Amino acid sequence: MSSSPRNRSSSTITVVVVAFVLIALAALAVVSGTGQAFVTGLYPPVAVTEQGAKVRDLYTIVFALAVVIFVLVEGLIIWTVIRYRRKPGDDMLPAQTHGNNVAELAWTIIPTIIVAFLFVISWQTLNEVDATSASAQTRIRAVAGQFQWQFDYLADDGQTVQYTQQLATGDGGGLYVPAGRNIQLSLTSQDVIHAFYVPQFLFKRDVVPGRVNKFDFKVDAADAGQTFRGQCAELCGAGHRLMLFEVHALAPADFDAWLADAIANASATPPPAPSGPATPSGQPAPSGQAAGPTLQVSAQNIAYEQSSLEAPAGTPFSIEFDNKDAGVPHNVSIHKDSASGEEVFKGDIFPGPAQKTYDVPPLPAGTYAFVCSVHPNMTGTLTVK
């Protein structure tokens, strides 16, 4: 007497549903650009490494199979729903088919063959992608911590550090690599689990404390001069989203020059003196007090404890910087107008817990931002007047 199926035929609802879905898909196409963009979006980015290209080829095959299977099965569902809707008033039972063993065998055996095929081609690609060789031409160690990346360029023995790249992003920062050469990257963590992920490599690998993971990659020679973004991909705490890095691919000769330069600069710089400003003119700093006031700045938990500072215009002044974060590198740098403005001062980067005094040269009056070069989210306002 109540709503038994025989009283409830809804022929219009299917049409309405289908219409809604199509409208939604159209809306999706509009919002995310053209329909073309939608399809492209279903693909990973174009790979810039040899290994990544192989993964992308594999993806193409998996994707093609996925589309075919989806269209077939979903099509079957939709067609069945439209074709076999009960007509109002039809009380006859349909044929009470209990099953069909041939069908069961078919849709057991065929999918098994398909997945076996997918497994085999995946395994083949894996062997190519995951191979680490003893003959890597460039060895780099990525050191992940909460919340920054640091890259150690290693000598051929894989142990001696020739140069440490302290900044992962920004001016002069990032992972510089030679395109066209085989690079071996080893991954170490200072604290919790992180992950090294470059979307354009179509690759990521966890950075696990207590373990050293290694992988090889070779950026295509054609991609020399490009920069790729990278990011930590394993939740590592409150600063997880901040652990960005850039990969700069250089032509081999450019890379060799860059590295030699970096090594030279690193050894030429005197060991960080308590009061050694990095003036652009390279003038030796007057040791001893600066004439102006001393500002106190401290950093803890990847944040400055001060949000605004004031300094007099036209007078050199000092910043006493207390880095309270154990094992985490910080500094204080000053940028014109805002954190993304031109850098006018950069203090030495050092890990805590430690203190350093920076001597800052005179600045014209105006608004500035003080920023940590390693963690650009750490910022505050400096008013000079």
Partner 1 sequence: MATTTLTPAATTYQTGLYAWLTTTDHKKIGIMYLINSFVFFFIAGIMALGVRTELAQPGLQFFTDLQYNELFSMHATFMIFVFIIPILAGFANYVVPLQIGAPDMAFPRINALSFWMLPLAGIILLLGFVTGGTAAAGWTSYPPLSEDRPLAAIGAGQDLWIVGLVLIGTSSILGAINFLVTIFKMRAPGMTLFRMPILVWTVLVTSVLVLMATPVITSALIMLFIDRNYGGSFFDPRVGGDPILYQNIFWFYSHPAVYVMILPAMGMISEILPVFSRKPLFGYKAFIFATAGIGALGFSVWAHHMFTTGAVYLPFFSLMTFLIAVPTGVKMFNWIFTLWRGKLSLNPPLLFALGFLSMFLIGGIDGAFSASVPVDFALHDTYWVVAHLHYVLFGGSVFGVMAGFYFYFPKMTGRMLNETVGKLQFVVMFIGFNLTFFPMHELGLAGMPRRIADYSSTAGWNDLNLLATIGGFTIAASMALFLWNVFVSLRSGAIAGDDPWEGNTLEWATTSPPPPYNFDHLPEIRSERPLFDVRHGRTAAH
- For partner 1, the binding residues in 199-218 under the rule CB under 8 A are 199-200, 202-206, 208-211, 213
Contact 181, 218 (CB under 8 A): yes
Is 99 an interacting residue with respect to partner 1 (CB under 8 A)?
yes
One residue of 15, 26, 64, 74 binding partner 1 per CB under 8 A: 74
One residue of 55, 219, 247, 382 binding partner 1 per CB under 8 A: 55
Sheet strand arrangement including 203-207: 175-178, 244-250, 227-232, 194-198, 203-207
Provide the minimum distance between the beta carbon of 12 and partner 1 in the complex, in angstroms, as a whole number. 10
Residue 234 or 348 with smaller CB distance to partner 1: 234
What is the number of other CB atoms lying within 10 angstroms of the CB of residue 166?
20
Provide the minimum distance between the beta carbon of 146 and partner 1 in the complex, in angstroms, as a whole number. 6
Task: Give Cβ neighbours of residue 152 (< 8 Å, ≥ 6 apart).
Answer: 140, 141, 142, 143, 161, 163, 164, 165
Provide the minimum distance between the beta carbon of 254 and partner 1 in the complex, in angstroms, as a whole number. 25
Alpha-carbon distance 166 to 59, whole Å?
35
Is 146 an interacting residue with respect to partner 1 (CB under 8 A)?
yes
- Nearest-5° Cα angle at 266, 262 to 271: 170
What is the number of other CB atoms lying within 10 angstroms of the CB of residue 132?
13
Candidate segments 102-110, 284-292, 316-324, 366-374, binder of partner 1 by CB under 8 A:
102-110
Is 94 an interacting residue with respect to partner 1 (CB under 8 A)?
yes
Is 80 an interacting residue with respect to partner 1 (CB under 8 A)?
yes
Provide the minimum distance between the beta carbon of 85 and partner 1 in the complex, in angstroms, as a whole number. 5
Alpha-carbon distance 163 to 174, whole Å?
13
Place of tokens 């107008």: 337
Candidate segments 189-197, 216-224, 247-255, 270-278, binder of partner 1 by CB under 8 A:
189-197
Residue type, 378: M
Subset of residues 230 to 249 that bind partner 1, contact rule: CB under 8 A? 231-241, 244
How large is the greatest C-alpha to C-alpha distance in the chain, in angstroms? 102
Is 15 an interacting residue with respect to partner 1 (CB under 8 A)?
no
